[in-house]
Amino acid sequence: MRLPTDSLSSYLSPSLADNSVVCLMAPTASGKTALAYELYDSGRYELISVDSALVYRDMTVGTAKPNAVELARYPHHLVDIIDPMQSYSVAEFVSDVARLIDSCHQNGKIPLLVGGTMMYYMALLDGLSPVPDSVDNVRARVEQWRQDEGISALYDYLGKVDAISHERLNATDTQRITRAVEVYLQTDIPISDWQRQPKQALAHNPNQQWHAISVMPDRPWLHTRIEQRLDIMWREGLVAEVISLLGRYPLTPNLPSMRCVGYRQVLEYLVQINHPVFEKPHLDKARFYDAFAQSEPPSVEIDESNKSNEQDAMTQTHLSLVTDQTEALACQQMQNKALYATRQLAKRQYTWLRKVMQLSDTVAAVPATVSSTMLSTSIVESDDVTGYQKNKLRLHSFSTMEQARVYLF
């Protein structure tokens, strides 16, 4: 159903000021990029990526990154800025965005922040605790400790020095456990103490007008889109892309880049089929195999009468090259796990989006001319909410990209 623009746009149109900052927030595969391109073509916006996977060079297929032609036509800030073996913290992202917002405004453009990494958005809108970045020598020391004794040793140590974080974190959350240990070793202060200090957010800037636009589409519709996107990724060669990354970079399985949805499942598949890429001298084969030691190997017991039907359900681009029965089953498991992981990602994104909308307790009434089917959630404005009085953060939630489009044009 297409949104009637007359009644809604007259109520929603923000007449965006020159000092505006727009956040277009929506789950994966929901159509953010298409709307961002349309807005860019209006001549009023510059695009800033809010995607923790698009920062990596050479990770294109599995991140649904715009291709080279698209990036030339629609330039994005914060795309292809680091190699896959590097890390990029939330604090670094916020610092980069602060600089880019000023640059966009100086160019007479409105920064359009578009992407699906909700933790980044929360850092911008709700703020970051002043936790210091880890210095290189401490990071290297903790990483060596983890390699020598395992993440369980770090988790046990955290229980002795930071009971609050120890209780909050899952024992297998390598990234956050490592970070918490680094902070304590570097500062002698538990990260939980740092996190209790007052937050600082870019959206608190009284000289800027922030618009946080949340789009939460119907889930069955989104699940169909996710399946379609994954099918495209398999056809375009996600498996080949991961093999190429392993051949080029000294990667390890616990790097943030290799924990991205899709890439993680392909890594597990390559381990299960004993792919020869792990014999490369710059790779630590044992670390990859240890990382997936708990994975169940694919069963080879298949009813031959159903075999062709099962294989027909797989993406033929990669599977057509697979002749071994075990490898074929591992391929199917990889695709199933990637689909499940992407749906779980979308579920988490919905949770984050609801959390963003809870930044304000003030809900504006929806006019009678706007039906509940057109606008599934209320329009929220936080002009008079504590902590947002000066900068007038505006929060809006829609159920379709078309509604967001009407608001922004």
**Tokens representing residue 248 in the block:** 């080029």
The CATH code of domain 136-195 reads 1.10.20.140
What whole-number distance in Å separates Cα of residue 16 and Cα of residue 234? 40
Q: What does 233-265 look like in DSSP terms, one character per residue?
A: HHHHTHHHHHHHHHHHS---TTSGGGGSTTHHH
pLDDT band of residue 66 (cuts 50, 70, 90) is very high
Region 336-348 average pLDDT? 97
What whole-number distance in Å separates Cα of residue 320 and Cα of residue 392? 56
Region 121-150 average pLDDT? 92
Cβ contact 78:55 at 8 Å: yes
Comparing 229-233, 279-283, 343-347, 403-407, the range with the smallest average pLDDT is 403-407
What whole-number distance in Å separates Cα of residue 20 and Cα of residue 208? 6
Region 59-74 average pLDDT? 97
Q: Is the pLDDT of residue 37 over 60?
A: yes
pLDDT at residue 15 in the model: 76
Cβ contact 284:115 at 8 Å: no
Query: What are the tens digits of pLDDT across the range 217-249?
Result: 999 999 999 999 999 999 999 999 999 999 999
State phi, psi for 404 to the nearest 5 degrees. Answer: -65, -40
pLDDT at residue 142 in the model: 96
pLDDT at residue 350 in the model: 96
Q: Is the pLDDT of residue 80 over 50?
A: yes
319 or 217, greater pLDDT: 217
Q: Is the pLDDT of residue 373 over 60?
A: no
Q: Is the pLDDT of residue 1 over 50?
A: no
Q: Is the pLDDT of residue 288 over 60?
A: yes
Query: What are the tens digits of pLDDT across the range 86-106?
Result: 999 999 999 999 999 999 999
SS3 82: strand
Q: Is the pLDDT of residue 307 over 90?
A: no
pLDDT at residue 199 in the model: 86
pLDDT at residue 309 in the model: 44
Q: How many CA atoms lie within 13 A of 335 on its CB side?
A: 25
pLDDT at residue 357 in the model: 87
Bridge pairing between strands 379-381 and 394-398 = antiparallel
Q: With both helix axes pointing from N to C terminus, report the angle between 325-357 and 219-236 in degrees, rounded to the nearest 10.
A: 140
pLDDT band of residue 380 (cuts 50, 70, 90) is very low
Rg (CA), the chain: 23
8-state DSSP, 280:
S
What whole-number distance in Å separates Cα of residue 16 and Cα of residue 35? 17
What whole-number distance in Å separates Cα of residue 131 and Cα of residue 92? 12
Query: What are the tens digits of pLDDT across the range 169-200?
Result: 999 899 899 999 999 999 999 999 999 998 88
Q: Which fold is adopted by the domain 221-346? A: Helix Hairpins (1.10.287)
Please report, rounded to a whole number, the percentage of residues in the chain having pLDDT higher than 70. 82
Query: What are the tens digits of pLDDT across the range 354-368?
Result: 999 888 643 332 233
What whole-number distance in Å separates Cα of residue 401 and Cα of residue 215? 6
* Domain boundaries, given as residue ranges, for the chain: 5-128+201-217+351-408, 136-195, 221-346
Average confidence score pLDDT of the chain: 85
pLDDT band of residue 129 (cuts 50, 70, 90) is confident
Class of domain 5-128+201-217+351-408: alpha beta
Cβ contact 50:113 at 8 Å: yes
SS3 272: helix
Cα angle 280, 284, 288 (rounded to 5 degrees) comes to: 105
What whole-number distance in Å separates Cα of residue 243 and Cα of residue 280? 11
Comparing 142-146, 296-300, 303-307, the range with the smallest average pLDDT is 303-307
Task: Report which residue type is found at 272.
Answer: Q
